[in-house]
Chain A
Amino acid sequence: MSGTTGSLAANYGVETDAVVSLNDIKVHYPVKEGVLQRVAGQVRAVDGVDLTIPKGKTLGLVGESGCGKTTLGRVIAGLVSPTSGDIWMDLTVEQQRDVQRLRNQNEKDFSEQDRQLWKQLTTGNRLGSMSREKQREYRRNCQVVFQDAFSSLNPRQLVRDIVGRPLRVHQEASGEDLNRKVIELLERVGLGAEHMLRYPHQFSGGQRQRISIARALALNPAFVILDEPTSALDVSVQAQILNLLVELQADMGLTYLFITHDLGVVQHMSDNIAVMYLGQIVEYGPTDQVFDNPLHPYSKILRDSNPSLEGKRSDRDWELSGTVPNPIEPPHGCRLHPRCPVAAAGCGWSVDDVLNSAEEKTPIIFETITTVERRDDFNAEVKFRDAEAAKSFATQVKSSVANLALDRPPELKGESVKLSFNEVPDASIQQIQDGRWTSCTRTQELGALPGFEKDKG
């Protein structure tokens, strides 16, 4: 194992300048209940994401619906403010190292020099604390193309107004000059002057997406967030748009954050890829390597379930069981473990996991539970209506993987079962090979995906 351990600040790709760096970003939405709107819990849409987007490259962000990828994109665009965490813009390699170093220190312990540096960094590069001027510059520099080109274009505005709006807001052009610039932009995305005085409904899906792209490019940004730009389009049109995006990137030196659920598209388009699951990034690395040799069970399952046009149908020996857990109370340890095919003792089993699996697999036993007295998430006493149910519950626990994680075997006392699990810290993403990051604790231990150790040599 060649990893750096313990460092929370996963700082991917530190060898290049970054357009945007994220530090421990969290977005929690309160769940309110009752007449008094009491806060009953937090939906952890994004929960502790560190990410660096290297300049001039395409970073693919993949995950299933509800994993928080769109929220993360909106945070980066400044459309959603994070509950906690820092967003840094335009950091050079040295600055990234400084930020990393200073973040791990207590602010009181800073030397005078460090204090100066920190002040300089926060006022100059941190979103939220930088000057209004800088903030405006960031907004100009970072543009978004949204998924649905039908709802993201104002139906009552002409194409000229839609594409020219950013230029007007930032007082770049007006009058004849504006028209000239709009035509230039339209031509750049494969449309023409004749489209300038039409309404969005007069265009097909692909053309609308081109208008969206033209609008995003109006202010000459350095960084474009593409939030599922082609998922509403047909394959043949999708190919046109993807080709256009690549061409524009080469011409204008753009950086892309490509958010998608389509693995084929992401594989084609991106240099690096970050896989998200339940609000966290579980794997990060160069696209080809992640696809050839995934280092997280979730990435492997995602890859294998993607239907392909060639080769033999990939053997889906691994499958996710059950459904996506509740993001209000995500599982402890590694978030995938209750569904993971290779979960082991150290993956973070807790009382909730056992109860959830009982609910799913043996609802009859689950319904006989009267009370659950829990000391904490890892220790609890489950009481049943009758001794028989308690007994079968205990045998069920013993036969599952969770049994290995128990501190001592489940204590069966009449109608109650006492469970006490070993406490496991939350999994953190760590580098285990050059440029390859994974949050799978078993992979971190073995240096390769469980069951694939030998292939690595």
Chain B
Amino acid sequence: MSENWLLKVQDLSVHFHSPRGVVHAVDNVSFEIKPGETLALVGETGCGKSVTARSILRLVPEPPGEYASGKILLSQDQDQSIEILSAPIKAVRAIRGERISMIFQDPGKALNPALTIGRQLAEVFGEHRMDMILENAGIEPDKASRADKMIAQQRASFLQIRLFSLLRSKKGKALQKSIDDAVARALADTGIPNPRKIMKSYPHELSGGMKQRVMIAQALACDPDLLIADEPTTALDVTIQARILELIQEMQKRRGMAVLYITHDLSLVREFADRVAVMYAGRIVETGPAVDVLASPQHPYTQGLLGAIPHRRTPRGQLAAIPGSVPQLVSPPAQCHFASRCKWAAEACKSVVPLLNSTETSRKVACLRFDTAEKLSVDIGDMPARAEMGEVAAE
């Protein structure tokens, strides 16, 4: 493989079957993530960013969901790669948590309210780090009997059937201690001040920021190569938001993992992402380095999105709102989805699907203003006004 990438999404389309028709939630989305990089997937409600993220872990329920086309490749050792969408489910389960893990938007909903934090985290280690637990309990993984493994598994599992452990209480205790130590270490890593106390508490006893830290600890327990953070701070206050994002950034630096941020907040992108991909109505409309895209957005939608952010310098009442609303994605027509809200829209925009074109090195835009009539074989009079390359959005 010539290029160095960790995850490659190629022409991914995800459809949902509903009584009203087929919803094209994600439509021919392609991007790649390099090791250690931070990519932000930005867009408004319903643009398909969360579905894209969930597809990477194959978490979209089928049915009603359907992976209509595309590939998701995860690179492995020796220039090998695994295709997540077609791999056997056992292989996918081995990837989940181990190589790719995910933080969800609302930590209050993502944690099990009936279990203590300690038990929830123990499950991760029981599932993925059995050898380590056995070793720390003084049992050699290779020589461990089936019963030993069983005890460890049960100590870690939230079901906690103590049948075996009662028979072998000494080993059981050693294993329990080993598991607790591992959990405490994972929690302490995320800056939780007294992990032993947190382990004994239930999710409702913790604040939102603390719950999100627990989620991060759980997600990072197995040193994944890629962390998907789906709106990790939307449910949190600003003062805590900054701390959580800095924590993720710090963990990323320390462990060299890649991060895929899913967010609707462009101002976060600038501070925390290397590259950004802007999504609109199921398609990526613009990608590029975060700093460049935010400084000089090229797609009319990105420009609109940036202009809509309230700012003290914009005179009151003159925010550049994008008129209209997001189109329905039930059997959408083959056209630029933004055409109905775009001020440059022309005839060609209503009949051609714009593809991602490179405008500069490392920047791509899906807009006919950056395309030529010859290539699309449409009448030149129908094309929208051409945009200057690298034009700075003055409006």
A residues with a Cβ closer than 8 A to B are: 64-65, 204-207, 234-240, 242-243, 246-247, 250, 261, 263-265, 267-269, 287-288, 291, 301-302, 305-309, 313, 316, 319-320, 323-324, 359-361, 363
Partner of A204, one of B242, B310, B325: B325
Partner of B44, one of A235, A242, A264, A361: A235
A136 to B142, CA, bound (A): 80
Residues of A close to B325: CB separation below 8 A: 204, 206-207, 237
B residues with a Cβ closer than 8 A to A are: 44-45, 193-194, 196-197, 207-210, 237-239, 241-243, 264-268, 270-271, 294, 304-312, 314, 316-323, 325-326
Would you call A64 and B319 a contact (CB within 8 A)? no
CB distance from A8 to the nearest CB of B (A): 29
- Secondary structure dominating the interface of A: helix
Residues of B close to A308: CB separation below 8 A: 267
A263 to B306, CA, bound (A): 16
Assuming the contacts A64-B238, A307-B270, A316-B242, asked whether A239 and B207 have C-beta atoms less than 8 A apart, the reply is no
A323 to B307, CA, bound (A): 35
Residues of A close to B197: CB separation below 8 A: 363
20 A-B pairs (CB sep. < 8 Å): A204-B325, A235-B266, A236-B44, A239-B322, A242-B317, A243-B317, A247-B317, A250-B317, A264-B309, A264-B310, A267-B312, A291-B312, A307-B242, A307-B267, A313-B271, A320-B239, A323-B207, A324-B207, A359-B194, A360-B194
CB distance from A396 to the nearest CB of B (A): 14
Having A267-B311, A306-B238, A307-B268, one finds 17 other A-B pairs with CB under 8 Å, namely A65-B208, A206-B325, A235-B264, A236-B308, A239-B308, A239-B310, A239-B320, A243-B319, A246-B316, A268-B310, A268-B314, A269-B316, A301-B239, A302-B239, A319-B243, A363-B193, A363-B197
Name B44's closest neighbour in chain A (CB-CB): A234
Would you call A307 and B265 a contact (CB within 8 A)? yes
Assuming the contacts A309-B266, A309-B294, asked whether A360 and B193 have C-beta atoms less than 8 A apart, the reply is yes
Would you call B319 and A239 a contact (CB within 8 A)? yes
Partner of A234, one of B45, B194, B271: B45
Residues of A close to B267: CB separation below 8 A: 264, 307-309
CB distance from A286 to the nearest CB of B (A): 12
CB distance from B295 to the nearest CB of A (A): 9
Would you call B305 and A236 a contact (CB within 8 A)? yes
Name A288's closest neighbour in chain B (CB-CB): B312
Partner of A307, one of B193, B210, B271: B271
Partner of A269, one of B306, B309, B310, B321: B310
CB distance from B357 to the nearest CB of A (A): 24
CB distance from B38 to the nearest CB of A (A): 15
Assuming the contacts A235-B309, A308-B267, asked whether A242 and B238 have C-beta atoms less than 8 A apart, the reply is no
Name A264's closest neighbour in chain B (CB-CB): B310
Assuming the contacts A237-B325, A250-B317, asked whether A309 and B310 have C-beta atoms less than 8 A apart, the reply is no
CB distance from A353 to the nearest CB of B (A): 16
A267 to B238, CA, bound (A): 15
Residues of A close to B238: CB separation below 8 A: 64, 261, 263, 302, 305-306
Assuming the contacts A64-B238, A234-B264, A239-B319, asked whether A267 and B310 have C-beta atoms less than 8 A apart, the reply is yes
Would you call A309 and B308 a contact (CB within 8 A)? no
A246 to B318, CA, bound (A): 9
Would you call A239 and B242 a contact (CB within 8 A)? no
A415 to B320, CA, bound (A): 67
Would you call B308 and A238 a contact (CB within 8 A)? yes
CB distance from B316 to the nearest CB of A (A): 5
A237 to B210, CA, bound (A): 31
A238 to B308, CA, bound (A): 8
A380 to B194, CA, bound (A): 25
CB distance from A253 to the nearest CB of B (A): 15
Residues of A close to B326: CB separation below 8 A: 204
